[in-house]
Amino acid sequence: MRAKVPSLTISVGLETLEISHTFQPGCIKSVAGENQGELSDEDDDLCPVECVREFKTDEEFLNILEKAKETNSLVVVDFYRTSCGSCKYIEQGFSKLCKGAGDEDAAVIFLKHNVLDEYDEESEVAERLRIRAVPLFHFYKNGVLLEAFPTRDKERIVAAIMKYSSPTKNV
């Protein structure tokens, strides 16, 4: 099953982000029990870096959430730390997911945020949201946090995306 996600354009300040993707649920598989050192052919299909947008400030994050309300988009945020091995592991899978999610009437915005700032201190976003464990994934719709969990399991992330981007759900 391949579903086309409508194109979505977000402007924050002088930057503009356009997202238009296709999601194939069958392409994402759990790596539990598999040799994590091996890369499959699917790993060659990594999404372009700009597909997952990194934000640095609380103001930028809140602006993105506000814009997402206008289009009823699901916002998925990967909170990470550069020195975290599990964060590096799931980053590759998260990049693949950014190819798109949901179906014709839904859009998904993929974000990431380093919980440590350039001075190795807790970022303002991490402090406000009281983030204590990484990798941590947040799912927002209409500016509201729907679900949050720490994981390196792509299947769990996909399940949450499908749950909250389904047009039959009124979240």
The two structure tokens encoding residue 32: 């539990």
Catalytic residue among 47, 51, 87, 98: 87
Catalytic residue among 27, 47, 51, 84: 84
Strand partners, 55: none
| Known catalytic membership, residue 84 | yes
| Known catalytic membership, residue 27 | no
Annotated catalytic residues are: 84, 87
